[in-house]
Amino acid sequence: MLSILKRYLIGKPLKTTELGEQKLSNTKALAILSSDALSSVAYGPEQILIVLATVGAVAYWYSIPIGIGVLILLLALILSYRQIIFSYPHGGGAYVVSKQNLGVIPGLVAGGSLLVDYILTVAVSVSAGTDAITSAIPILHSHTVFIAVLLVIFITILNLRGLTESASILAYPVYLFVVALVIIIVVGLFNVITGNGPQVTHSPIGTTIPGGISLFLLLKAFSSGCSALTGVEAISNAIPNFKEPSERNAAKTLTMMGLILAVLFSGIMFLAYWYSITPNAEETVMSQLGSEIFGRNIIYYFIQGTTALILVLAANTGFSAFPLLAYNLASDKFMPRMYLLRGDRLGYSNGIITLGVASILLIIAFQGKTEQLIPLYAVGVFVPFTLSQTGMVIKWLREKPANWFPKMITNLVGALISALVSIIFLTTKFNQVWSILVFLPLIVYLFLTIRKHYEAVGDQLRLNNDIPDKIKGNIMIVPVAGITKVVERTMQYAQGIADEVYAVYISFDKESEQQMRDKWETWNPNVKLIVVHSEYREITRPLLKVIDQMEQKAHENGFEITVLIPQFITKKNWHNVLHNQSSLLLRAYLLHKRSVIVTTVPYRFKV
């Protein structure tokens, strides 16, 4: 049943040899890897306005200089990441770059930060997408959490099916979103130029704020706007997914993405200012802008629909990056080994599933109101930005190849701006991002603990180079509850392979004890029957006593002790209720508490 459902949802398993076919063309890669960055445009400008709105509409003009600041930062990041792409053609995630140039701990800080961040990406993007849907169709407003969870499940399944297939589905919405935003920007600007603009008037640039505006607030608005830059690192993590020459293709795609992002961000930012949009909880800024320019007609719904789609699909960036990062961490033994395994469809399914489950939990915990998570999400991006750019600076200084100086300066600027943004975040939004100071050290500690365990286990399992000695003999202990076919079969087996066989009967009363002795005598399978009386009607302890008595003798002779447990295999599952399941408990006890070898002899009921 379950496996049929799985087959249907995930598709038929792929052979390992089919792996090569999953490479991405530039257009597809742009769609998959930049949906996160591009979709940030849907909430980045809004984040700036939310901060400015605390002063009043009169302060909205500040969004223009702040927006320019964000664009400069974007430029710096794009240039820095181009250099990372060429230096780390096998995938230069912040984890790899920081670890190689700065050391293990900075690497783990970057890795842990990104890992959590991808979970936040999924939760935030899907929630924002759901908001876009419920802004357009208010009747769905009370089902936000349910819709968001369904969407995450849907994306998870797409990713379990494999990258290429999801790419085809994902390419169109991203381009549609770009088209939709271009339409809104072009028509909006046309209105502005022709004077068909909005009724309300915006505060002119340079308007003085009564009472002034604090630097603190401006920095806060700037850092909020930086959330529009999350996701620009995605391409540098995924270089091996590009067609050859993969670095050049990746760099081209990155530049393309930077350009599109810059155009969309400045357009939306400017129009929001010009139309003097006030952010509110019920309707997104994008939705307000759409209604202002087009009214609620078909174009509005088209824009809103593609926004929802791209936000939901932005979550997909997390799904591309998380499993890969988890794989990298796992192959360095900082995460459980299971993240190394490819699933039926060749994706790292454990990473995909972990991400899906974690983000669903976040969405439920925050009841879909994940805008509170955006600052955390943004700071979680800028910490690894800073670390990887710093790593690059160190690399240039150490290796000093041709032309290293301008390259070093580029990364240094990137590092400094990123560090600045991180610090602004931590000071201006401390009450929203303090938790990163708790969980990052915790995660790093966990990584190190896991690594320590694996190393200790590895030492313990390593062989000294000699051929194993056989054991000298084998004592088999068979608990019996009566004389039946099951016991017969177990005895046949035990006598065939053991040097000594003992049947152990645990009696609860003297009567049955004598009966059993007599019956055994008659049946006589050439096996000694040991009868132990259990005063407390309990099986494990008396049996252990027998084992303990034999153990010493066994070890002196180089013998091993094996306990043979017959197990009924019932024909129907509910039949298990009708049969004593103490063999399961006994087995678990012997293995885990006493390290005794246990052989299970199945006996299948025909009825």
Which residues 493-532 are close enough to bind a copy of itself by CB under 8 A?
493, 495-498, 508-509, 523-526
- Kindly state whether residue 473 participates in binding a copy of itself, applying the rule CB under 8 A: yes
Q: Which stretch binds a copy of itself (CB under 8 A): 177-185, 230-238, 437-445, 562-570?
A: 562-570
* C-beta of 196 vs 600, nearer to a copy of itself: 600
Q: Which stretch binds a copy of itself (CB under 8 A): 113-121, 149-157, 218-226, 460-468?
A: 460-468
- Kindly state whether residue 472 participates in binding a copy of itself, applying the rule CB under 8 A: yes
* C-beta of 235 vs 516, nearer to a copy of itself: 516
Which of 23, 143, 248, 587: binder of a copy of itself (CB under 8 A)?
587
Which of 165, 344, 513, 551: binder of a copy of itself (CB under 8 A)?
344
Which of 450, 531, 532, 550: binder of a copy of itself (CB under 8 A)?
450
* C-beta of 244 vs 469, nearer to a copy of itself: 469
Helix (H, G, I), strand (E, B) or coil at 256: helix
| DSSP per-residue letters across 339-392 | GG---TTSS-HHHHHHHHHHHHHHHHHTTT-GGGGHHHHHHHHHHHHHHHHHHH
- How many of the other CB atoms lie within 10 Å of CB of 564? 22
Structural tokens at position 484: 């039946």
Q: How many residues in the chain?
A: 607
Least distance to a copy of itself from the beta carbon of 534, Å?
A: 8
* C-beta of 19 vs 259, nearer to a copy of itself: 19
Structural tokens at position 603: 């006996």
Q: Are strands 528-533 and 473-480 parallel, antiparallel or unpaired?
A: unpaired
Binding string to a copy of itself for residues 310 to 339, with x set by CB under 8 A, is what? --------------------------xxx-
- Kindly state whether residue 584 participates in binding a copy of itself, applying the rule CB under 8 A: no
Helix (H) or strand (E) holding 560: strand 559-569
Whether omega for the bond prior to residue 45 falls within 30 degrees of 0, making it cis, is no
Q: To which residue do tokens 């809004």 refer? A: 46
- Kindly state whether residue 460 participates in binding a copy of itself, applying the rule CB under 8 A: yes
Find the distance separating the first CA and the last CA of the chain, reported in whole Å.
22
Least distance to a copy of itself from the beta carbon of 471, Å?
A: 3
Give, as ranges, the residues between 131 and 150 that touch a copy of itself (CB under 8 A). none
Which of 262, 299, 550, 598: binder of a copy of itself (CB under 8 A)?
598
Least distance to a copy of itself from the beta carbon of 347, Å?
A: 12
- Kindly state whether residue 562 participates in binding a copy of itself, applying the rule CB under 8 A: yes
d(CA 582, CA 604): 17
- Under 8 Å CB-to-CB from 503, ≥6 apart: which residues? 478, 479, 480, 487, 491, 520, 527, 528, 529, 530
Least distance to a copy of itself from the beta carbon of 579, Å?
A: 7
- Kindly state whether residue 240 participates in binding a copy of itself, applying the rule CB under 8 A: no
Which of 210, 211, 212, 468: binder of a copy of itself (CB under 8 A)?
468
| DSSP per-residue letters across 59-120 | GGGGHHHHHHHHHHHHHHHHHHHHHHHHH-TT---HHHHHHHHH-HHHHHHHHHHHHHHHHH
Q: Which residues pair with 528 in a beta bridge?
A: 502
d(CA 5, CA 9): 6
- Kindly state whether residue 278 participates in binding a copy of itself, applying the rule CB under 8 A: no
* C-beta of 151 vs 491, nearer to a copy of itself: 491
- Kindly state whether residue 597 participates in binding a copy of itself, applying the rule CB under 8 A: yes
Q: Which stretch binds a copy of itself (CB under 8 A): 22-30, 55-63, 414-422, 567-575?
A: 567-575
* C-beta of 141 vs 517, nearer to a copy of itself: 517
600 — phi, psi (to 5°)? -105, 120
| Packed helices 26-39 and 163-194: angle between N→C axes, nearest 10 degrees | 60
Binding string to a copy of itself for residues 11 to 40, with x set by CB under 8 A, is what? --xxxxx-----------------------
Least distance to a copy of itself from the beta carbon of 436, Å?
A: 24
Which of 9, 105, 457, 584: binder of a copy of itself (CB under 8 A)?
457
| DSSP per-residue letters across 447-514 | HHHHHHHHHHHHHHHPPPS-PPPPPSEEEEEEEESS-SHHHHHHHHHHHHH-SEEEEEEEESSHHHHH
Closest CA to 47 of 219, 185, 194, 225: 225
Query: Residues 118, 122, 128, CA angle at the centre, nearest 5°?
Result: 135
Least distance to a copy of itself from the beta carbon of 492, Å?
A: 4
Least distance to a copy of itself from the beta carbon of 453, Å?
A: 6
- Kindly state whether residue 545 participates in binding a copy of itself, applying the rule CB under 8 A: no
Give, as ranges, the residues between 194 and 213 that touch a copy of itself (CB under 8 A). none
Residues contacting a copy of itself: total by CB under 8 A: 76
- Kindly state whether residue 469 participates in binding a copy of itself, applying the rule CB under 8 A: yes
Which of 23, 143, 342, 517: binder of a copy of itself (CB under 8 A)?
342
* C-beta of 393 vs 564, nearer to a copy of itself: 564
Least distance to a copy of itself from the beta carbon of 605, Å?
A: 6
- Kindly state whether residue 3 participates in binding a copy of itself, applying the rule CB under 8 A: no
Which of 179, 259, 569, 584: binder of a copy of itself (CB under 8 A)?
569
Least distance to a copy of itself from the beta carbon of 156, Å?
A: 20
Structural tokens at position 526: 């050439």
- Under 8 Å CB-to-CB from 552, ≥6 apart: which residues? none
- Kindly state whether residue 301 participates in binding a copy of itself, applying the rule CB under 8 A: no
Least distance to a copy of itself from the beta carbon of 349, Å?
A: 10
Helix (H) or strand (E) holding 398: helix 374-399
Closest CA to 321 of 17, 37, 76, 10: 37
How deeply is 76 buried, as exposed, middle or buried, from its count of CB atoms within 10 A (0-12, 13-18, 19+)? buried
- Kindly state whether residue 398 participates in binding a copy of itself, applying the rule CB under 8 A: no
d(CA 440, CA 113): 7
* C-beta of 264 vs 596, nearer to a copy of itself: 596
Which of 492, 512, 515, 549: binder of a copy of itself (CB under 8 A)?
492
Sign of the torsion formed by the C-alpha atoms of 201, 206, 211 and 212: positive
- How many of the other CB atoms lie within 10 Å of CB of 152? 26
